[in-house]
Structure 1
Amino acid sequence: MSKPLTRQAQMRRATLASLLTNLWLSIMQIAGGVLSQSQALIADGLHTLSDLAGDGLVYLTARHSNALPDRDHPYGHRRFETLVSIIIGLVLLGVAVGISLNAADRLLNPETLVAPSGWALAIAFLAIAAKEGLYHYTIKVARQTRSRMLQASAWHHRSDALSSIVVLVGVAGAVLFDLAYLDALAAIVISGMLALIGGKMTWGGVQELLDAALDEDKMRQIGDTIIAVDGVEGFHQLRSRQMGGAALVDVHIEVSPRISVTEGDHIAERVRAALLEFVPEVEDVTIHVDTEDDEHCEDGPCLSLPSRWSLFKILSLVWSDQRLVEHLHIINIHYINERVELDISLPLSLFDDDISAARKAADKLQKETAQVSVISAIRVYWH
C-alpha cells in the first residue's frame, strides 16, 4: 500500500500538471490562431503563456512555503503562499482590466475584427475543457492541503476558462452568425467577474498579512472545543491569525486555583491536543494557564501583588514571634481576586508538641497577618 502524499508533494504535483497543460495549450493556441487568422485566439494563447510564469512561481513557492521552521522563521514559511496569492490576485485584476479595455476598443472599432476560420472554434473548445479541468483538479488539492496559494491558482484557471469562453463567443459570432460585437460584450461581463475574483484573492491575502482572525463561526468552534476539555472552567483572550491556510491560536484558559502547576499544564496540553484534532485549520496553539479571568489586570493591581520572597519579608515585620519567621515554610501561594492566600508550614516541635499552644500561636499569627491588606487568608499546617 503506497504512502499518502505529503502536503508539499500534492502542491507540487498540482502545479506541475498546470505547467505542462499550459505549455502545450499556449503553443496550440498561438499556432492555431496564426493559422486560422484568429486574433482573439492568439491573445488567449499569449495569456496562457503568461500563466506559465505564474505556475513556475507557485511551483517554487510550494517548496519554500513547506520548509521546516528555522531560527529566523520560527513559525514556518507559510507566508510565502500568502504573498504569491496576492500576486496572483493582482494578475487577475490586471487581466480583467486588459480584457475590458480590449473589449471597449473592439466595440468602438468593429472594423478591426478579423473573421477566423472554423479551426479556431475547435481550439477554443479544447482550451475551455483543459482549463476547466485544471480548475477542478487544483481546487480539490487546494482544499485538501488548505493552501490559499493553490486556491488562488485554481481560480486563475477558472478565469482562464472564462476568458476562453469569451474567445469562443467571439469566434462563433464571427464565423457562424456574423455578430462580432458579441465577443466584446461577453468580454466586458467576464472582466467584471475576473476583477471580483482577483479582488477577493488580493484582499484575503492582505488580511492574512495583517494577521486577521478566523471568522466568527470558526472562533466559536474553537471556543466550544476548549470549554469541553475536562478541568477548563473558562477562557479569555482567545486570539487567532492565519498563515498560508493554517491558523495559529493563542488563548488563556482558566482552571481551579487549588490544583498543582503540573495538573494545570496537563489540562493545557489536552486543550492543545483537542484543538489540533477537532479544528483542522489549527496547526499551532499557545496556551497560558490562569486561575481567573485576569484580562482586566494587565498593568494593574495584579502585578503589584508581592512575590514569595516579598511575603517572607512582610510576615517577618508583622509577626511578633521571630522564632516562627525563622522556621517558616510557605507551601503554596494563591493569587485570587487581586489578593493573596497562603498555605504555610511550621514545626510543632517549637511548642514541645503541645497542640493547644500551637493552635493559640496560629490564631495569633492569623490576627497579626490580617494587618496586611493584600493577604486575604492564611492556613497553618504543623509538621
Structure 2
Amino acid sequence: MITDRRTEVKRVLLAALVINLSMTGLKLVLGLISGSLAVVADAMHSATDALSSLMGLLTNSLSDPHPDRDHPYGHEKYEAVGALAIAGFILFTALEILITAGERLLDGLPALRINGPELFLLLLVLLFNLGLASYERREGRRLQSQLLLADARHTTSDIWTTVIVLVGLTGAWWFKVNWLDVALAVPLVVLLLRVCWQVLRANLPWLVDHIAIAPEAIHEQAMAVPGVLNCHDIASRGVLGQRVFIDMHMVVDADDLPTAHRITEMVEERLESRFGPVRCTIHLEPRDYAEQHITFRGAHG
C-alpha cells in the first residue's frame, strides 16, 4: 500500500525554514555589529540551510509516491534529487568558509568588536539549531524521508559551524587572539565535506538504480513458498523499507493460470512481509526454462 507522507514532511520543512531564516538574520546582524567575518560566514551557512529547506519544500511537492501515466513508478526520486541539491549547498558553504578565512588573513586579521552579549546570542542560536536538527532527524526516521534526513545533516553541519565560530570568538575575546576563528576554519570545512559525502552516499544509489536487496535473499523467500520450483534473473532497485521494485523469472508447479497466479500472489505477499513495501514483476516460464543462476546477469552475463 502506498503511503503519502508529503503533508507531514512539508510541516517539518516549513518549521525548519522559519527557524533558519530567523537564525540567518540574527547571525548577520551579529556579524555586522562585531565585524567578524566568521560570523558573517556562519550567517551565510544558515542562509544555505534556509535555501535547502525551501528546496526541500519544492521537491516534496513533486515527489508524489502515487504513479501516474507519465511516471508509472511514482515521483519519489525527486526527493533524492532534492537531497543532492542540499549536498551542493553544503559544499558551497565549505568553500565560502575557506574564502572568508583567506580574506581575513589578507586583511591582516582586523580587531573584532565582540563581547559577552554577542557570544550569548550565538549560544542561543546554537541551542535553537540543536533542537531543530534533533526534530528533523526524528521526524525523518519516523516518516522514512531521505529529504528530511539530508536536511537534518545540513542543520547538524550548521551546529558544528556555530560551535567552532563560538569557540574562536570566545578565544579571540578572552585572550585577545584574533586568528583563532580563522585557524578553526580548516576542521570546520572537513566536517562539512564529510556531511556532503554522507548525503551523496545515501542518495546516489537510489538515483542510479543500485541493487536494493541481495538476489540470494529474494530467492530464499520466493523458494519458501509452496509451488515455486525455480526463480532466476532476480533484480531489485529502490530504497529498502520505503519502496523496492523487484523483477524475477519464475517456474511454478501449476498447469492452469489461476493456480499459477495464486502462487505468484503468495510470493509477493511473502516478500512484502519480509522486506516492506515492494512492487513485484514476476515472469512465469515453462519448466524447461529453469536456471541455476538466480541473479540478473544482463547482456554480458
TM-score w.r.t. structure 2 length?
A: 0.85
CA distance in 1, matches of 2:174, 2:283: 70
Residue 41 of structure 1 is matched in structure 2 by 39
**1:71, CA displacement in angstroms?**
0.7
CA distance in 1, matches of 2:85, 2:29: 29
Q: Which structure: larger Rg?
A: 1
Q: 2:249 pairs with 234, 241, 252, which one? A: 252
Q: Which position in structure 1 is the counterpart of 2:220?
A: 224
What SS class does the counterpart of residue 286 from structure 1 fall into? strand
* CA spacing shift, 1:123–1:265, aligned 2, 3 Å: same
Q: What is the Cα deviation at residue 106 of structure 1? A: 3.9
Is there any run of 5+ residues in structure 1 with no aligned partner, and where?
A: 297-383
From 269, 284, 306, the counterpart of 2:265: 269
CA contact (8 A) 1:15 1:55 kept: yes
Greater mean alpha carbon deviation, residues 264-273 or residues 41-50: 41-50
Q: How does 1:133-212 map to 2 (within 5 A)?
A: 133-212=131-210
How many angstroms apart in 1 are the aligned matches of 2:50 and 2:266?
Answer: 46
SS in 2 for 1:68: coil
1:57 alignment partner AA: M
Whether 2:82 is the aligned partner of 1:84: answer yes
Q: Which blocks of at least 5 consecutive residues in structure 2 are unaligned?
A: 294-301
Q: How much has 1:34 moved relative to structure 2?
A: 2.9
Give the whole-Å Cα distance in 2 for the aligned partners of 1:267 and 1:141: 38
8 Å contact from structure 2 (residues 41, 96) kept in 1 = no
**1:91 Cα deviation after fit:** 1.5
Cα pair 1:265 1:289 within 8 Å, conserved: no
Note closer, same or farther for the CA distance 1:76–1:224 as it changes in structure 2 (3 Å cut).
Answer: same
Distance 2:218 2:188 in 1: 39
Among 26, 31, 39, the alignment partner of 2:29 is 31
In structure 2, what is the Cα distance between the partners aligned to 1:176 and 1:209? 49
**For residues 118 and 221 of structure 1, do their structure 2 counterparts lie closer, same or farther at Cα, with a shift above 3 Å needed?**
farther
Q: Is the 8 A contact 2:228 2:252 kept in 1?
A: yes
Per the alignment, do residues 105 and 33 of structure 1 end up closer, same or farther by CA in structure 2, a change over 3 Å counting?
A: closer
- 2:233 corresponds to which letter in structure 1? Q
SS at match of 2:228: coil
Q: How much does 1:155 deviate?
A: 0.7
Q: Secondary structure at the match of 1:24?
A: helix
Cα 1:166–1:76 change in 2 (3 A) is same
Question: Secondary structure, in 3 states, of the residue corresponding to 2:184?
Answer: helix
User: In 2 relative to 1, CA 62–121 (structure 1 residues): closer, same or farther, beyond 3 Å?
Assistant: same
Residues of 2 paired with 1:269 and 1:10: CA distance? Answer: 32
Mark the CA change 1:69 to 1:113 in structure 2 (over 3 Å): closer, same or farther.
farther
Structure with more relative contact order (C-alpha pairs < 8 Å, separation 6 or more): 2
Shift of the alpha carbon at 1:110?
5.0
CA distance 1:133–1:194, shift in 2 (3 Å): same
Aligned length: 288
Q: Which amino acid aligns with 2:69?
A: R
Shift of 1:109: 5.5
Q: Is the 8 A contact 1:78 1:243 kept in 2?
A: no
2:298 paired residue number: none
Alpha-carbon separation, structure 2, partners of 1:53 and 1:89: 12
What fraction of aligned residue pairs are identical, expressed as a percent?
28
Q: Does 1:293 align with 2:290?
A: yes
Return closer, same or farther for 1:87/1:117 CA change in 2, 3 Å cut-off: same
Contact 1:25–1:48, Cα closer than 8 Å, also in 2: yes
> Could you give the per-residue CA deviations for residues 296-343 of structure 1, whole angstroms, max 9, x where no partner exists?
8xxxxxxxxxxxxxxxxxxxxxxxxxxxxxxxxxxxxxxxxxxxxxxx
Q: Cα distance, 1:204 vs. partner?
A: 4.1
